[in-house]
Amino acid sequence: MRPADLTRTVAQRAIADGLVLLALAVWWWSSRHLPASVIPSPQAVLARLVAIATEPALGWHALVTTLRVMASVLLSLVLGLALALAAHARPWLDGIITDRILVVLSGMPSVGWAILAVIWFKVSEFTVIFVQVMILLPFALINFTEGLRNLDQEVIEMADSFSTRRTATLVHVIIPMLLPYGIAALRVSYGVCWKIALVSELFGAQSGLGYLMLQAQSVGDVVTVVATCLIIVLLFTLGEALIINPIARTLRKDIAQAEAG
Amino acid sequence: MSIVQAAPAQTVLRLRRENLWKKIATHGFTLGVLALWEITSWRIPAYLLPGPLDVAQSLAWLLGTPAGLVQVGASLLHVGLSMLLAFVAGAAVALTPYYVGWLRPAIDSRLTPFLNSFPGIGWTLLAIIWLGLGLSTVIFAVTVILLPFMIINIREGVRTVDQDLIEMTQSFGSNRRRDFFFIVLPTLFPFMFAAVRVSFGVSWKVALTAELFGGSRGLGYTMNIARQELETSQIYAVIALIVVIVFLSNRLLFDPLQRRLQVSSRKPA
C-alpha cells in the first residue's frame, strides 16, 4: 500500500468513528431535551449495559440467550444437512422436501412459529429451541441443497469405484465437498438466529433477553429495551469475530490444504 | 436438457418413471399430512389444533368478507409503503459511498452492520414507545428492518459498476448525471430486483410481528386478537395466507423475472 493510500484509509476510519461519536452526541443532546421515557440518556443505557454484563441476575439472561442461539444454530445445521442428503439420495423424497417442506418453512413467519409453539408445547426450554430451529432450518436446507446440486459427480463416481461402502464416500468425499456450503449456512444461520432470538423468547420463555425486554417494555422501562437491543448487537459482533470467523478460516484452510495436498 | 435428449430410450423411460414416482410421493405426502391433521384434530381440543376445515373457514372469512379484507388490505398497505420507503432510503445509502468516497467506512463498516444486527422486535417496541400504536409504528418498524436487506443487495451492484466505462464516457464529455442514468442505474437493475425480491418475503413476515405488537389493523393485529380469544383457527389461517402469498409471489412473479435477469439474490447474514 502506498503511503498516500494509507493516510486516506486512516482518515476514512477516523471519519467513520467520528460519525459514530457524532451520533452518540446527537443522542445525548436529544435525550436532554426529550422526556427520558421517550429517549433515555446514553449514560443510563450504558449503566444498564454494564449491569447486564456484571450482575449475575441480569447476565444470566444474556448467557441463556447465547447458549440457545448456539444450540439452535448447531441443531438446524445438522437437521438441514440430513434433510438435504435425504432429498439427494432418494429422488422420490426430493419433491416432498423441496416443494413441500421447504416451501412451508421458508414462507412461515417467525412470530407464527412463536405463537404456535407456545400453544402446542406451553412455556418451556424446548419451545424456544423449537421456534429457533424451525426458523433457521430453511436457510441451512437451501445452502446444503445448493451444495449437493453442485457436487462433482465424477469425483463421487471415482470414490464409489474405490470403495463399496457408501458411508465411506459420504464421510470422506461428500461431506468435505459440502464444507464451503456448510460455512455459508453457518454464517447465515448465526446472523438470522440473533435477530429472531428475541422473538422466540417473547412468548415461550421465562428467561433470556427476549423475556427481559418484554418485561421492560410492559412497565415502560425504555432504558432496558434499548440496552437489550445493544447487547444483541454486541453479542452478535463478538460471536462473529471470536467464533464464526475463526471456524470459517480454519475450515477454509483445511479445504485449501486438501486441494493442494 | 441435452443430456436427456442424447440419452438412450431406456434412460428416458427410467427418468420418466422416477419423475412419476416423485409426483405421486409429493402429492401423497400432501394428502397424508392433511388426513393426519384432520384425524388428529378430532382427538385434540380445537384451541390446540383446529381441523383443516375450520382453518379453511377462517381463511374464507379473511378473503371473502369486507371485515377480513380490510385487515388483508391494511397489511398490503403496510408492506407496500414500507418497501417503497426502504427501497428509496436503501438505494440512497448504498449509492452514497460511490459519490462520497470518504463516507465508505462509515457506511460499510458502521451503519450497515449496526442496522443488520439490530433486532427487529427492538425496533418495533421502540417505535411503539415513540409513535404509539398504529400505522406509523408499523411502517417505521418494517422500513428500518428492511433497510439492511436493501442496502446490502444494492451495494453489491454499486461495486460492479464499470469504472473504465465511466472514464471513457467522461473523456467523451459525459457528465455525472448522464452517467448515472445510462451506466450506473442499468448496472444496478438486477441488484435492485434482488433487493426487492428478498425484501418482499421478509416484509410480510416482519409486518406480521410489527402489527401484532404495534398495529391497530392488519393480519398481525388479527392474529393477536385471535390469540387473546383463543380462536386458534384464525391464527392458522393468517399463517397459511402468508405462506401462500410468499410462495405464489415467488413462483408467479419473482422466479420468471429472475430467469430473465439471472442474478442471484444475496441475504444479509
The predicted model scores a pTM of 0.87
Q: What is the DSSP letter of A151?
A: -
Q: How far is residue A64's CA from residue A74's CA, in Å, rounded to a whole number? A: 16
User: To the nearest 10°, the Cα dihedral for A136, A142, A143, A147?
Assistant: 150
Mutate to test the interface with B, among A26, A39, A195 (most CBs of B within 10 A): A195
Tell me how many helices (H) and strands (E) chain B has: 14, 0
Residue B265 has pLDDT above 50, yes or no: no
Q: How far is residue B110's CA from residue B176's CA, in Å, rounded to a whole number? A: 27
Is B264 in contact with A150 (CB distance < 8 Å)? Answer: no
Residue A164 pLDDT level (bands cut at 50, 70, 90): low
196-215 in chain A: CB under 8 A from chain B: 196-199, 202, 210, 213-214
Q: How far is residue B208's CA from residue B196's CA, in Å, rounded to a whole number? A: 18
Query: What is residue A259's predicted lDDT score, i.e. its pLDDT?
Result: 64
Residues of A with CB below 8 A from B30's CB?
100
Burial of B151 by CB count in 10 Å (0-12 exposed, 13-18 middle, 19+ buried)?
Answer: buried
Which position has the grid cell 418498524?
B141
Angle in degrees, CA A147, A252, A180, rounded to 5: 10
Q: How far is residue B205's CA from residue A206's CA, in Å, rounded to a whole number? A: 24
Is B246 in contact with B199 (CB distance < 8 Å)? Answer: no
Residue A261 pLDDT level (bands cut at 50, 70, 90): low
Q: What are the CA-CA distances from residue A67 to residues A6, A70, A238, A253 (Å)?
A: 40, 5, 14, 27
Which position has the grid cell 432418494?
A90
Residue B3 has pLDDT above 70, yes or no: no
Question: Measured on CA atoms in the order A207, A213, A218, A219, is the torsion positive or negative?
Answer: positive
Asked if A100 lies within 8 A of B29 by C-beta distance, the reply is yes
Query: What is residue A74's predicted lDDT score, i.e. its pLDDT?
Result: 96
The ipTM (two decimal places) reads: 0.85
Q: How far off is chain A from B69, nearest CA to CA, in Å? A: 20
Q: What are the CA-CA distances from residue A187 to residues A58, A77, A212, A252, B156 (Å)?
A: 28, 11, 26, 13, 18
For B152-176, the pLDDT digits (tens) are 999 988 988 888 888 888 888 888 8
Asked if B243 lies within 8 A of A188 by C-beta distance, the reply is no
Residues of B with CB below 8 A from A11's CB?
102
Please state, rounded to an integer, the average pLDDT across all residues of chain A.
89
The domain ranges of chain A are 1-33, 38-260
Mutate to test the interface with B, among A10, A15, A83, A96 (most CBs of B within 10 A): A96
Fold entry, domain A38-260: MetI-like fold (1.10.3720)
Nearest residue on chain B to A227, alpha-carbon basis: B122
Asked if B102 lies within 8 A of A120 by C-beta distance, the reply is no
